[in-house]
A and B are shown apart, each in its own frame.
Chain A
Amino acid sequence: MTATLDRPLVTGPAHGLVGTWHLTRLALRRDRIVLPIWIVLLGIMPSTSSGTFETLYPTAAERAGLTASMGANPSLSLIYGPAFDLSTAGGFTAWRLGGFLALVIGLMAVFTVTRHTRAEEDSGRAELLASAVVGRYALLTAGVLVSAGASVLIGVVETGLMIGAKLPVEGSLALGAATAVTGLVFTAVAAVAVQVAEYSRTANGIGATAVGVAFLLRAVGDSTSDANWVSWLSPIGWAQRIRPFADERWWVFLLPLAATVVVGAIGYALLPRRDVGTGIVPPRPGPAEAAASLRSPFALAWRLHRGPLIGWLIGTAVCAAVFGSVASGIGDVVGESQQAKEIFQRLGGTDGLIDAFMAAMTGLFAMVVALYGVQAALRLRAEETAVRVEPLLATGVGRLRLLGSHLVFAFGGTALMMVVSGVLLGLSNGMRAGSVGDAIGDMVVASLAQLPAVWVITGLAVTLFGLAPKFTTAAWAIAGLALLLSLFGPVLNLPQAIVDASPFSHVPKLPAAEFTATPLVWLAGVAVVALVAGLMGWRRRDVG
């Protein structure tokens, strides 16, 4: 006789996607604060900036000249992309923001997919879920759906608000959709990255590198006349070549859509070829005994920081070399374009064009390097939430020593990156002028002048870590806001008082402007106060 179960076996669908809907809802619940911020921030940008176009260029004559003057300037193309039609508010907005929106939505997609897939596996939560009635592809699909859904929503909000701001419907639709499909492409890229990577940090690194390479490819393609095709290799380049508000080319949408399908399919094909919790490359065994050097908190911090640090240094070096070499061509091409000078006056503070460009570049590098500063400063918080700090503090290691060994990377790492960017900007620019030594010296000084502002952002991250550890994510918001204020504040005609809230607004715009020590001393003071407040808080607060 066979035993019968009291409860009948519940039979239901058992395909690979079972449970996707539940996981998607779980992901949406967990992201109920983060995603709306992304959507609102990216969604409102184009419509608000289009309004300032009319105040900046009130007359038709001024507008007519923009395409010819700014559009022909390779250094502006390097930053913003190709200019198709700058005579309308829509066309100007698409040029100014199209590439930026594509870049940021790409990062959003990478972080979102990783957060709901690889990071869940790292934490062991995915295992708990996998034991429930959940199909093999459900977790990945849920992450992809959330990221893709957010991308589409950002596009919809963008389009709706632009149409509301009386911009042409076709162009609004094209720009919104261009942003959205770029989000889809990088969602697919992330779906591959999370299969390949061993840890969520690596997955984020691979994804963000892909976004960075896409930006760099189009920067190179857009700023040179003989290698224009390079931009066609980049999803960010595609988004711009849809030409919103400038005689839209709808067929270009086929490229990102096809890429999404192909790359996404690779991700799904890789998934069954690996075990839950590991990457596609099996983990290698490590040494049975620690090297003699692994005997201090600093040695451990080096092991934890060296990967990201080296990655960031390489990225900084490549970008600085590319941007610096483009700068050498500016003067020849721009000639006496008044509008281009105007832009650089705003960004770089003077009309000596190359110097202004260089000053703008160092500012840009500083703001991006500040993101590394935040990442490195918050590493100990990540360790703390992973419950890896307590075993260390239960040894003879004091709290300040432990935090200090991480902050060496946050503060020293940012300094190193600024030096590297200074050297390479100077080198590539100096080779043209024939005075390499002077150029390098000038640019290193200019880059280092940005350091106090970078350290203010880094210091504030430490403050949050020490005093309000639950709210450390706010450090990213601070860094992002400072970047937006400095990058778009002048363009959006924001009141100076608001723009001044960013520490980067106070840095003397070297090498174009005169060196003044006063603001730097103030910024350094703020950074020190922020750092000390964080250290004091960390000494007093509960761990865990």
Chain B
Amino acid sequence: MENAISISGLHKSFGRTKALDGLDLQVPAGEVHGFLGPNGAGKSTTVRVLLGLLHADSGDVRLLGGDPWKDAASLHRRLAYVPGDVNLWPNLSGGEVIDLLGRLRGGLDQRRRKDLVERFDLDPKKKGRTYSKGNRQKVAIVAALASRVDLLILDEPTSGLDPLMEATFQYAIQEEREQGRTVLLSSHILAEVEALCDKVSIIRNGHTVETGTLAELRHLTRTSISAELAGPPNGLTKLQNIHDLKVEGNRVRFDVETRSLDEALRQLTQVGVRSLTSQPPTLEELFLRHYTTEASAK
């Protein structure tokens, strides 16, 4: 099946600052793809290259089978975009903005619009500046989701939404997925990513460091183990892929990478295990590990 988004080796610099440094990203049609990375990693820059707002320095970028720079206007009829920071025209009402953006995209599903305005509890009569941050965000979300498009590009779309609206948003995206739409979701909200995304890509310093399903990524992380042993845990220190080892008498605490889990347990049982707790890797740890500098040095 053809990829809705296909980026390889993308470079983009602003003056001396390298924003993107060989980024790769593949999003097959029909997939909800999480796009993650610390602040300043280059997520928004990537999105803006995809939207034809920025000219890539080098690299190959395909969007819905076209060139996002050359075919910008025609491709944009097939996608909708929600920025992370929505600025509205001060003298236009929210309802006017929704209709205008929808019409400029080539049409709006009126039933879906009405439904979404209700579900997101949005007052469409207010003027641009009188909206709060979360409500401005809702205006852009409704405008995007009510459009008849193939691809949704969402750049931290839920920043400023309350938990109730966050749930409404997740439900709406599930509906989009069932409709077969492709979604690129840049987000910092892990629960959102976990609930919605088929696959994720993690970027750092302008290039992709990890990509795969969440199950695959979990596999790459560490399990935390704490145990009380029958004797001093001598052999553990020699093991590979053990981190943050703490020994207090017969008690040990350490993190172990998944590939060495088996070996570490064998080491423990050789000494004799009195009690053992193990914590599976959480999503937070997965991200923290990729977000911190130590991981990039690897």
- Measured CB to CB, the residues of A under 8 A from B are 122, 198-199, 277-278, 283-291, 294-297, 299-300, 303-304, 386-388, 390-399, 401, 540-544
Give, as a whole number of angstroms, the nearest-CB distance from B127 to chain A: 5
Q: What is the number of residues of chain B that contact chain A, defined by CB distance less than 8 Å? A: 43
How does the 8 Å CB contact mask read for B138-155 relative to A, with 1 for contact and 0 for none? 001000000000000100
How does the 8 Å CB contact mask read for B225-263 relative to A, with 1 for contact and 0 for none? 000000000000000000000000000000000000000
How does the 8 Å CB contact mask read for B116-141 relative to A, with 1 for contact and 0 for none? 00000000111101100000000010
**Cβ contact within 8 Å between A287 and B96:** yes
| B140 contact set on A, CB distance < 8 A | 391
How many angstroms from the CA of A542 to the CA of B92 in the assembled complex?
27
**Cβ contact within 8 Å between B48 and A277:** no
**Cβ contact within 8 Å between A290 and B105:** no
Partner of A199, one of B80, B90, B124: B90
**Cβ contact within 8 Å between A303 and B89:** yes
**Cβ contact within 8 Å between A290 and B130:** no
**Cβ contact within 8 Å between A294 and B77:** no
B79 on interface, CB distance cutoff 8 Å = yes
Give, as a whole number of angstroms, the nearest-CB distance from B209 to chain A: 26
How many angstroms from the CA of A296 to the CA of B101 in the assembled complex?
9
With contacts A277-B129, A395-B76, A396-B76 known, is A297 near B93, CB below 8 A? no
**Cβ contact within 8 Å between B104 and A392:** yes
Among B22-30, B51-59, B216-224, B265-273, the stretch that binds chain A is: B51-59
| B130 contact set on A, CB distance < 8 A | 278, 283
Which residues from 98 to 120 on chain B have a C-beta closer than 8 Å to any C-beta of chain A? 98-101, 103-106
| A295 contact set on B, CB distance < 8 A | 99-100, 103-104
**Cβ contact within 8 Å between B91 and A303:** yes
**Cβ contact within 8 Å between B51 and A390:** yes
**Cβ contact within 8 Å between A289 and B95:** yes
- Measured CB to CB, the residues of B under 8 A from A are 48, 51-55, 72-74, 76-77, 79-81, 83, 85-93, 95-101, 103-106, 124-127, 129-130, 140, 153
How many angstroms from the CA of A395 to the CA of B148 in the assembled complex?
12
Identify 11 residue pairs between A and B in the complex whose beta-carbon atoms are under 8 Å apart, listed by A's number.
A287-B96, A288-B93, A288-B124, A289-B95, A295-B104, A304-B91, A388-B89, A396-B77, A542-B54, A543-B48, A543-B54
Q: Which residue of B lies closest to A389 (CB)?
A: B53
**Cβ contact within 8 Å between A396 and B104:** yes
**Cβ contact within 8 Å between A394 and B100:** no
Partner of B81, one of A198, A286, A299, A391: A391
Q: Which residue of B lies closest to A387 (CB)?
A: B87
How many angstroms from the CA of A386 to the CA of B87 in the assembled complex?
7
Partner of A297, one of B52, B96, B104: B104
How many angstroms from the CA of A388 to the CA of B100 in the assembled complex?
13
Give, as a whole number of angstroms, the nearest-CB distance from A292 to chain B: 9
How many angstroms from the CA of A285 to the CA of B53 in the assembled complex?
33
Give, as a whole number of angstroms, the nearest-CB distance from A406 to chain B: 13
| B101 contact set on A, CB distance < 8 A | 391-392, 395
| B54 contact set on A, CB distance < 8 A | 542-544
| B98 contact set on A, CB distance < 8 A | 290
**Cβ contact within 8 Å between B127 and A286:** yes
Partner of B72, one of A283, A284, A393: A393
How many angstroms from the CA of A342 to the CA of B104 in the assembled complex?
58
Partner of A394, one of B79, B97, B99, B127: B79
**Cβ contact within 8 Å between A289 and B96:** yes
Partner of A294, one of B79, B96, B127: B96
| B127 contact set on A, CB distance < 8 A | 283-286
**Cβ contact within 8 Å between A286 and B72:** no
Give, as a whole number of angstroms, the nearest-CB distance from A461 to chain B: 22
Q: Which residue of A lies closest to B75 (CB)?
A: A396
**Cβ contact within 8 Å between A286 and B83:** no
**Cβ contact within 8 Å between A288 and B95:** yes
**Cβ contact within 8 Å between B74 and A390:** no
How many angstroms from the CA of A392 to the CA of B83 in the assembled complex?
11
How many angstroms from the CA of A278 to the CA of B129 in the assembled complex?
9
How many angstroms from the CA of A276 to the CA of B278 in the assembled complex?
54
How many angstroms from the CA of A544 to the CA of B100 in the assembled complex?
21
How many angstroms from the CA of A66 to the CA of B16 in the assembled complex?
63
Give the 10 A-B residue pairs with the shortest CB-CB distance, closest first.
A286-B93, A290-B99, A395-B104, A394-B81, A398-B73, A290-B96, A285-B125, A295-B103, A543-B53, A288-B95
**Cβ contact within 8 Å between B93 and A285:** yes
Q: Which residue of A lies closest to B140 (CB)?
A: A391
Give, as a whole number of angstroms, the nearest-CB distance from B106 to chain A: 6
How many angstroms from the CA of A290 to the CA of B41 in the assembled complex?
38
Give, as a whole number of angstroms, the nearest-CB distance from A220 to chain B: 34
How many angstroms from the CA of A299 to the CA of B96 in the assembled complex?
12
How many angstroms from the CA of A544 to the CA of B93 in the assembled complex?
24
| A284 contact set on B, CB distance < 8 A | 127
How many angstroms from the CA of A29 to the CA of B103 in the assembled complex?
44
Q: Which residue of A lies closest to B113 (CB)?
A: A289
Q: Which residue of A lies closest to B14 (CB)?
A: A542
Q: Which residue of B lies closest to A201 (CB)?
A: B90
How many angstroms from the CA of A27 to the CA of B282 in the assembled complex?
48
How many angstroms from the CA of A327 to the CA of B52 in the assembled complex?
55
With contacts A288-B125, A289-B124, A386-B87 known, is A397 near B93, CB below 8 A? no
With contacts A288-B93, A288-B95, A543-B53 known, is A294 near B83, CB below 8 A? no
